[in-house]
Amino acid sequence: MEYSKMNPNEEKIWRSIRNKEGAVFELYYKEHYKFFFLAACNYLRDPGLAQEIVNDVFIKLWEDGETINIQTSLRSYIYRAVVNRSLNELDKRKKERAHQSELGHRPEQTSELRDMEENELKVRLYKAIDQLPEQCRKVFMMSRFEDLKQQEIADRLNISIKTVKNHITRALKELHEVLGHWNSLPVWIVMIEYFFRH
């Protein structure tokens, strides 16, 4: 998947962060924290853990900035780091639960298996979102994760409402294909309600 490069403003911010300019780092963190937090939350469904992951990514950015080579936009780099950390955490949880289930059946096992199924489907869906063309992905995330109306998205991105609708339609079509191969009906319904709302 291709991501856009840094624009001049991001290049200036990244240079400042690498030079340990705390005020610039803090301002960037405050302005973008909600976006990255929601991205992590949508994977993990755990606000506390999502906050921890976002903070860890920013701390690493601050501490290792001099050795980090970013080939994309700064926002895309951090988003990818947050997503990867979230996926790793989900994989860790899945392995822990599988190990626990081998030790014996428990009353809450059915509920946990359902949670695992739902998490696995969400991982597939978010991977599908991440593979959308950049503008399409941006429009869809603004619509579903930031709860912006189509007119607001059009105004922010300086595009027509028709273009916004086309992007959302394309995204939903591709996500529907992911859901179409899923066999767990209850989980499928949950995802339909979450992603395919109008």
- Position 11 confidence tier, pLDDT thresholds 50, 70, 90: very high
pLDDT at 193: 47
Residue found by looking up tokens 């790793």 in the block: 88
Give residue-wise pLDDT tens across range 162-174. Answer: 999 999 888 888 8
CA dihedral 37, 151, 166, 171 (to 10 degrees): 20
Give residue-wise pLDDT tens across range 18-30. Answer: 999 999 999 999 9
Q: How far apart are CA 175 and CA 169, in angstroms?
A: 10
Q: By percentage, how much of the chain surpasses pLDDT 90?
A: 36
- Cβ count within 10 A of residue 147: 8
Cα radius of gyration rounded to whole Å, the chain: 19
Read off the pLDDT of each residue in 55-80 and give the average, rounded to a whole number: 91
Of the listed ranges 29-33, 77-81, 137-141, the one predicted with least confidence: 137-141
Q: Provide the terminal-to-terminal Cα distance of the chain, rounded to the nearest Å.
A: 28
Question: Amino acid letter at 18?
Answer: R
pLDDT at 169: 87
Give residue-wise pLDDT tens across range 45-56. Answer: 888 899 999 999
Q: Smallest Cα–Cα separation from 121: which of 53, 183, 48? A: 183
Domains and CATH numbers, the chain: 1-104 (1.10.1740.10), 107-198 (1.10.10.10)
Q: How far apart are CA 107 and CA 12, in angstroms?
A: 55
Q: Is the pLDDT of residue 136 over 60?
A: yes
Give residue-wise pLDDT tens across range 82-107. Answer: 999 998 888 887 777 665 665 555 54
- Rounded mean pLDDT of the chain? 80
Q: By percentage, how much of the chain surpasses pLDDT 70?
A: 74
